[in-house]
Amino acid sequence: MSQQLDALVTVDLDGGALACLSCGVAVAPPHAAVVPFYASGRMGAFQPVTQAEHFTTERMARCRACAANEQRAEQVLAAHPAVAHSIGGHSVAVHRVSGALDALAALYAAGHRTLSVDALTQDDRSVRLLLHHLTPVGVAARWSGRFTPVLDRTAAPGTASAHPWGHVDAALASALRDAYAALLRARVTTPRPIPPPADGSPRGCLLCGVATVTALPSAQVWTAVKVTTAALGGQPSPDRLPGHLCPTCARAADEAGGIGPTAMERSLMDHLGVGRSMAATDLVGMVAWCALRPTPEPSAAPWEHLGDLRALVDSLRFGA
């Protein structure tokens, strides 16, 4: 039986069918994988919440087309290992790439022509742009988003969309178009050197001292922080120095759980391209750029203030 909910046409699920977690259509068994989604309550101040709806579990699967999208996401990640590594866990990476591909599928279902997946994933930069612009809106456009973390006002458990991506309303459709337009603009924008924000703080990365980061003009590449220079090889001081970290140093600090010697070590290893942890003796005398007195001019390359790093690279690579 079909029913109309605010222009969304749904069908009741029967015979063991489940809704596709992406496009929303009914998927007949057998199902290659079943994913549970949990809801607590119902969205909308004027929507009554029944006891059954207060804690709801909705099981979903993937239709053949959306399962192919997920398999394509695996292929994209395999072809771009550097991007996959930068994301972290494999399941998270697949989630992000498949979300971007779902955005393209939703646009296609609405009659919009888009570039092919091959064209949009031709190199690492293209993949990163695709994820940045389309993953958030693609994930938001999924049928499953109507059921978790709370039920949308039109979400009825036990139903599916009568048409692929038929649940995408005007607001989501507009967001998809805007995101795709932003992606196209970003693809033709040339990356350029971007310095830290001119807010009176030091003009380089507080750790490695690099003066600029090459990125798209619209990218937010610098992370604002406050540091204690004593923890970075400088003189003891009660003051916390405001400034910014480049993406490499920000990631190193995040992995280390703070801005100190371990973060400096991780950033330097990334810059040097070495794969083992440094011994304590390697770190003797290591000082962050911002902790030097007087603070030198920011450098063209990371960690230039440490001098010639070739001997350190050789000792770390060959155990000398």
- DSSP letter for each residue of 188-203: TSPPEEEPPP-SSS-S
As a whole-number percent, the residues of the chain with pLDDT over 70 amount to 86
Nearest partner of 277 among 235, 318, 316, judged by Cα: 316
pLDDT of residue 191: 83
Measured CA to CA, the distance from residue 26 to residue 196 in angstroms comes to 50
Least confidently predicted of 3-7, 105-109, 121-125, 257-261: 3-7
> 87: helix, coil or strand?
helix
Distances (CA, A) of 33 to 18, 64, 98, 165, 265: 11, 12, 16, 20, 42
Strand partners, 8: 5
pLDDT category at 44 given cuts 50, 70, 90 is low
pLDDT of residue 53: 54
Instruction: Compare 247 and 55 and report the one with higher pLDDT.
Output: 247
Measured CA to CA, the distance from residue 250 to residue 247 in angstroms comes to 5
pLDDT of residue 238: 82
Strand partners, 56: 39
pLDDT category at 195 given cuts 50, 70, 90 is very high
Measured CA to CA, the distance from residue 150 to residue 168 in angstroms comes to 17
Measured CA to CA, the distance from residue 162 to residue 24 in angstroms comes to 8
Q: Domain spans of the chain?
A: 2-187, 193-318
| pLDDT, average across residues 117-132 | 95
pLDDT category at 89 given cuts 50, 70, 90 is confident
For the record, the structure tokens of 47 come out as: 């929507």
pLDDT of residue 115: 95
pTM: 0.62
Nearest partner of 137 among 94, 87, 102, 189, judged by Cα: 102
137 has pLDDT over 60: yes
